[in-house]
Amino acid sequence: MNRQGATPAMRLFAECLMAYETKAGPVLAGNKPPAVLVCDKLRLPLATLMGNAGYRALLARALTLAKAETPWPSEVVIKPDGSLGGWETLEAQDDPQEMAEAGVVLIAQLLDLLTSFIGEDLMLRQVYEVWPTVQLPQGDSIAQRKNENTK
Amino acid sequence: MKTLNKINVAKSALPRKVVSRPAKVAIRQLPTGVRGLDEIMGGGLPEFSFNIIAGAPGCGKTTLAHQIMFANATPRKPALFFTVLGEPALKMLRHQQQYSFFDPTQLNRSIRFINLSSALLKNGLRGVVEEITREVEASSPAIVVVDSYRNVTRKTIAEENELDLQAFVQRLVLLLTSWQATTFMVGEYAEAEMRDNPVFTVADGIFWLSQNVERNSVVRKLQIIKSRGQGSVPGLHTIRITADGLQAYSRTLGLLQEKVRPAKRRRLSSGIPELDEMLGGGILEGDSLLVAGPSGTGKSALATQFLAEGLRHGEAGVAAIFEERPEGYTARAGTLGMDLRTPQKNKMLEMLYLRPLDLSVDETMQEILDAVKRLKAKRLVIDSLVGFEMALAPGFREDFQESLYRMIAALTGAGVTIFTTVETADTFNEMSFSHYTISFLTDDILRLRYVEIEGQLRKVITVVKMRGGNHSKDIREYIIGDKGVAIIGPRQEQYARLTTGLPDRIGQIKELAPEPKAK
């Protein structure tokens, strides 16, 4: 499959999830970057659905696609349990703006991948399992879908 | 003692029937969500049963399990689908959501997919049981599916011993039954494995799916090998996977519950008064009549007249046609003065054109039966048997006669009158009826044939058989005019051996007056 970069709608969705996580509580987050927090939270339902190996494979693919789209530090790796490792060293070394952008791209690619496999409906259902109250910006297609799904 | 007295009092207060003979437990039946399967199962799936869905790859096992889940899961009593080292869940969801029964709103609300691969790889059978126990106790599911259970046992056979496997099966059955779940273990098995695998011993129900290739066509079949506590329809049933998922076609064609025809039956007009006379007043309602004759003798015209006559009397009809498209059939009826277009618009007549490739005999019958039920049809035309058989996949042709017999018997039993045509090859030394064993299929037989008389190829009709009463033995000539088939003249007394097609004149030849001389 010749994939393009993450779609604008999915980038917007990723930004919403990351913003939600940032607002949720920096104390609990332990200063993890928002993208890592989002991945951590998605890991449980997705690993339940597809197994730990399945989730790791999907995240690895998303990371590869994200690296092709935006610069990513080589320190970031996927650990055997499916969590992201190596992020601790990032804040000191990299431009925060650049890192935030990389995080958005990774999450957007992960959601895009899920969408291409199981469709937007089922992808959204998985996401709303984790963030049932997440507020999306009005007007984008995913927000409209959420409203339709919750009717 | 006080306690004992209390028990005695309580016992005496019970109704006599409960003490002497406890009431039987009523086993609730759950819908399968598969068209035709409830009937095959004898009403549905026994609640709290432990079942195996087995068969080779590509038979529809996972789809069947999904249909059962979607038909029964609710937010209060959800379904849990455990996947184990088989088809990746993402791909399964990707494919299963294409079916019409897949309702995405049920996902995570009443249906949950849980992957057990890590539990199995890390902790073996113990890990699987622990994980299933945790999930079952957390959500009290109505339905539990393990797909593929075969992968669980394969891992065990490789690394653990047979007793471990038996203990695992026992624990699983006890757990799921105690938690009031109806369970399905999905797996790829060969028939020989049924003897040795302990899961087949403890299972209450075994669904066996198979796929057979015959020449260029594929035939899928379902068999209920075991069904504890209730009677299922025995034998192999055709299944088909469509956009709606699995559809099953019971060998009984869903006709077990049909009412029986009344003892006193009317006589229906064929639309041709002279033919009604030959039939002793008309065709008996609920009879199956076969018209046999070579090409061009007017079999379809007779069938159309039979339908049109019913429509004139407000009787709905169905025509299953295999050799001509409905538009052509309708247009040709129009040229004979019969309007079949208006009744089709008014839902009094349905023309079924059934000629897809690889048609299974049972699903074709089902189409016909559905149309008959939809219209509450009284008259059914099958035009023709030869076309019907040709439209079937080769693998189904062997079953054709048996299935046809079952359908005709059930429909006529319910009071529908069937008019079937069959093409025969005329030889000029005998009169055959058809290569089918027609006595099983029909109550009445009409035979049309060509005869050579006075340098012309004419047509004659005769009633060969009428099970329900006396009939004319005459061989009468007919023509196909602008109003369809019309019988002309009384029986032929001038010729013998008309049935051979090459009759001998036995009557006197009337001398024609000599032509006037030219002046």
Set of chain B residues whose Cβ sits within 8 Å of the Cβ of A45: 108
Among A49, A117, A124, pick the best mutation site for testing chain B contact (most B Cβ within 10 A). Answer: A49
Residues in Cβ contact with B371 at an 8 Å cutoff, skipping those fewer than 6 apart: B318, B320, B350, B352, B377
Reported as a pLDDT band with limits 50, 70 and 90, residue B351 is very high
Mean pLDDT of A61-72: 87
Element (H, E) at A84: strand A84-85
Does residue B314 register a pLDDT over 90? yes
Dihedral sign of CA atoms B97, B100, B101, B105 in order:
positive
pLDDT category at B2 given cuts 50, 70, 90 is very low
Q: Given its phi and psi angles, is residue B180 left (phi above 0), alpha (psi -120 to 50 degrees) or beta?
A: left
Sheet strand arrangement including B317-321: B349-353, B317-321, B379-383, B417-423, B288-293, B444-453, B456-466, B475-481, B484-488
Closest partner CB to A122 (pick from B88, B107, B112): B107
Helix, strand, coil share of chain B (percent; to 5) = 35, 25, 35
pLDDT at B340 over 50: yes
pLDDT at B518: 66
Whether omega before B384 lies within 30 degrees of 0, making that bond cis, reads yes
pLDDT at B106: 93
Q: Give CA–CA dist B245/B393, Å, rounded.
A: 21
By CB neighbour count within 10 A (0-12 exposed, 13-18 middle, 19+ buried), where does B77 fall? Answer: middle
Among the residue ranges A28-42, A134-148, B428-442, the one predicted with the least confidence is A134-148
Q: What residues of chain A lie within 8 A of the CB of B113, using their CB?
A: 48-49
Q: A41-55, B73-87, B296-310, B357-371: which has the highest mean pLDDT? A: B296-310
Q: Stretch B88-100: mean pLDDT, rounded? A: 92
Task: Kindly state the tokens that stand for B456.
Answer: 């012309």
Where does the pLDDT of residue B258 fall: very low under 50, low under 70, confident under 90, or very high at 90 and above?
A: low
Provide the 3-class DSSP secondary structure of residue B113: strand
Q: Where are the alpha helices (DSSP H) in B296-383?
A: 299-312, 326-335, 341-345, 361-375
Q: Answer with the residue of higher pLDDT: A135 or A61.
A: A61
**∠ CA A81-A84-A87, rounded to 5°:** 145
Give residue B198's pLDDT.
74
pLDDT of residue B125: 81
Question: Looking at this protein, which amino acid is placed at residue B486?
Answer: A
The DSSP code for B444 is: E
Residue B5 has pLDDT above 60, yes or no: no
Q: Which of A137-141, B23-27, B463-467 has the lowest mean pLDDT?
A: A137-141
Convert the pLDDT of each residue in B391-418 to its tens digit: 777 766 777 787 788 778 878 877 899 9
Instruction: Give the 3-state secondary structure of residue A26.
Output: helix
- Cα B306 to chain centroid distance, Å, stands at 26
Region B53-57: mean pLDDT is 90
Q: How buried is residue B294: exposed, middle or buried, by Cβ count under 10 Å (0-12/13-18/19+)? A: middle
- Give the confidence band of B380 by pLDDT, cuts at 50, 70, 90: very high
pLDDT band at A106 (very low <50, low <70, confident <90, very high): very high
Pick from B405, B75, B58: nearest CA to B239? B58
* pLDDT value of residue B3: 46
Beta strands B349-353 and B379-383, pairing class = unpaired
Q: Which residues pair with B224 in a beta bridge?
A: B207
According to the model, what pLDDT value does residue B88 have? 83
Amino acid of residue B435: H
Answer whether residue B453 shows pLDDT above 90: no
Task: Determine whether B491 is exposed, middle or buried from the number of CB atoms within 10 Å of its CB (0-12, 13-18, 19+).
Answer: middle
The two three-digit tokens of residue B240, written as one number: 């088909």
pLDDT level of residue B121 (50, 70, 90 thresholds): confident
Check A52 against B107: CB less than 8 A apart.
no
Q: Which of B85, B109, B115 to mutate to test the interface with A (most CBs of A within 10 A)?
A: B115
The DSSP output letter for A109 is: H
Contact B294, B427 (CB under 8 A): no
Q: Is residue B430 very low, low, confident or very high in pLDDT (cuts 50, 70, 90)?
A: low
Contact criterion met (CB < 8 Å) for B113 and A49: yes
Q: What is the pLDDT of residues A2-19, one digit of tens each?
A: 456 788 889 999 999 999
Structure tokens at A18: 């990351």
Q: Is the pLDDT of residue B7 over 50?
A: no
Comparing C-alpha atoms, which of A126, A127, A39 is closest to residue B113?
A: A126
- What's the rounded mean pLDDT across residues B110-133? 87
pLDDT category at B358 given cuts 50, 70, 90 is low
Close Cβ partners of B509 (under 8 Å, ≥ 6 residues apart): none
Q: Which residues of B touch A (CB under 8 A)?
A: 83, 88-91, 93-94, 97, 104-105, 107-108, 112-118
Mean predicted confidence (pLDDT) in B270-279 = 94
Instruction: Say what percent of chain B tops pLDDT 90.
Output: 42
d(CA B106, CA B66): 12
Query: Are B205 and B226 a contacting pair, CB within 8 Å?
Result: yes
pLDDT tens-digit profile of B14-54? 455 555 555 677 889 999 999 999 999 999 999 999 999 99
pLDDT computed for residue B313 by the predictor: 94
Q: Amino acid identity, residue B510?
A: K
- C-alpha span between B303 and B362 (Å, rounded): 23
Between A33 and B305, the more confident residue is B305
DSSP string, B379-432: EEEEE-HHHHHHHB-HHHHHHHHHHHHHHHHHHHHTT-EEEEEEE----SS---
Rounded CA separation B2/B5 (Å):
5
Average pLDDT, chain B: 83
Query: Among A24-28, B259-263, B318-322, B412-416, whose mean pLDDT is lowest?
Result: A24-28
Residue B63's nearest CA partner among B36, B89, B95 is B95
Q: What is the pTM of this model?
A: 0.73
Per-range mean pLDDT, top range of A85-99, B167-181, B216-230, B236-250: B236-250
Show residues of chain A in contact with B115, CB under 8 Å.
47-52, 54
Give kind and range of the element (H or E) at residue B292: strand B288-293
Q: Interior CA angle at B454 toward B451 and B456, to 5°?
A: 55
Higher pLDDT: B296 or B436? It is: B296
Cβ atoms within 10 A of the Cβ of B508, count?
7
Band (pLDDT 50/70/90 cuts) for residue B120 is: confident
Distance, in angstroms, between B84 CA and closest chain A CA?
Answer: 9
Q: Which residue has the higher pLDDT, B179 or B350?
A: B350
- Cα-Cα end-to-end distance for chain A: 34
CB neighbour class for A57 (10 Å; exposed up to 12, middle 13-18, buried from 19):
middle
pLDDT per position as a tens digit, B472-502: 888 899 999 888 888 877 777 777 777 777 7
3-state SS record for A102-151: HHHHHHHHHHHHHHHHHHHHHHHHHHHHHCCCCCCCCCCHHHHHHHHHHC
pLDDT reported for residue B20: 58
Question: Which chain A residues are within 8 Å of B104, Cβ to Cβ?
Answer: 119, 121-122, 125
Amino acid B16: pLDDT: 53
Most confident of B5-19, B273-287, B418-432: B273-287
Q: What is the pLDDT of residue B38?
A: 94
Structure tokens at B128: 């699987």
Average pLDDT rounded to a whole number, residues B502-512: 70
User: Which residue on chain B is closest to A47 by alpha carbon?
Assistant: B115
Task: Give the pLDDT score at B155.
Answer: 61
Other Cβ atoms within 10 Å of A143 Cβ, number: 17
Give residue B310's identity as a one-letter amino acid code.
G
